[in-house]
Amino acid sequence: MTVTVIGTGTMGQGIAQVVATSGHTTRVFDAVDGRAIKAVKGIAEQLEKLVAKGKITHDLRAATLNRLSAGTSARDACAGADVVIEAVPEDMKLKLEVLQPVLEVLAPKALVATNTSSLSITELGARLGVPDRTVGLHFFNPPPVMELVEVVRGLSTSEETISRSLDFVRGLGKTPIVVRDVPGFATSRLGVILGAEAMRMLEMGVASATDIDRGMELGYRHPMGPLKLTDLVGLDVRLAILEHLQREIGEQFRPPAILRAMVRAGKLGKKSGEGFYKWVDGVPVPN
């Protein structure tokens, strides 16, 4: 198939890597000039590391890169695509602005997928005018490593769309779960509540960030504590999810003051070099 990924932040780049490695012709596009080309280079480097570790062959890297390209415009990148996956920031208006203009150039029955962590698939599909073909494909960070993809069924998403989505996700080597379109789906509402509570504990001085994380890593065998994970995901991403869930579900999702302050200060986590930790060469160092 031909698959287009729009938005080449951490998630978009990672999703494109997975899709291209799985054999699909893959195009990426980002509204920020030069960012799509940077993502292709980033994927080439990631694949080089996998070759060096003996995880993939040199031939698979070369074939994957042959299938991967950066589009010069969203419409150019989407022309004839069988699947479009949107991975732009968590803002319904932005998602509509990105997807609406490309609908007419996609293949006739193309899947219109969004990687949103919490926004309504039902609303997106209705406002795009293609509710039956709109679906949530929620990947996890880092996409090349994480096994799960939530397949989110909007109120009017067709059975055919769900079935094609499940085939697509399995073909990427991932395990899908089908989830009803409720705010925060099955994972985000649990994930962000743990992160938010860890932040409130930090505000109260219960323990240091490192020790709160160590508690969950050693006591509960989480691969990564909730504050380190917030740094990995991005503090801005977590704030947007919490704000949305506070509006949709209730006060238990009110964003902690420390999160709001850190986002305002530009401390967004790993991608900005500092969050609850300092990130040096991709490794968290206690602040």
Ranges within 90-129 binding ligand CAA (CB under 6 A): 117
| Nearer to ligand CAA among residue 111 and residue 119 (C-beta) | 119
- Give the footprint of ligand CAA on residues 222-251 (CB under 6 A): 223-224, 229, 233, 237
Q: Which two tokens stand for residue 80?
A: 């004839």
Exposed e or buried b per residue across 86-119, where buried means at least 16 C-beta atoms within 10 angstroms of its C-beta: bbbebeeeebeebbeebeebbeeebbbbbbbbbb
Q: Which of 55, 58, 109, 247 binds ligand CAA (CB under 6 A)?
A: 55
Return the structure tokens found at 168: 């697509």
Among residues 110, 109, 114, 108, the alpha carbon closest in space to that of 127 is found at: 114
Structural tokens at position 150? 């939530």
Task: Select the residue interacting with ligand CAA from 144, 195, 255, 256 (CB under 6 A).
Answer: 144
Stretch that binds ligand CAA, among 32-40, 94-102, 134-142, 193-201 (CB under 6 A): 134-142
Is 191 a binding residue for ligand CAA by CB under 6 A? The answer is yes
| Residue 205 falls in which region: left (phi positive, over 0), alpha (psi -120 to 50) or beta | left
Q: Is residue 184 part of the contact set for ligand CAA (CB under 6 A)?
A: no
Least distance from C-beta 103 to ligand CAA, angstroms?
Answer: 25
Q: Tokens 């059975």 identify what position?
A: 159
**What is the SS3 assignment for 146-178?**
CCEEEEEECCCCCHHHHHHHHHHHHHCCCEEEE
| Residue number with CB closer to ligand CAA (110 or 192) | 192
Q: How far is the CB of 145 from ligand CAA (least distance, A)?
A: 4
Nearest approach, Cβ of 105 to ligand CAA (angstroms)? 28
Q: Does 188 bind ligand CAA (CB under 6 A)?
A: yes
Is residue 260 a contact partner of residue 267, using CB atoms and an 8 Å limit? no
Write out the residues near ligand CAA by the rule CB under 6 A: 46, 53, 55, 117, 140-142, 144-146, 188, 191, 223-224, 229, 233, 237
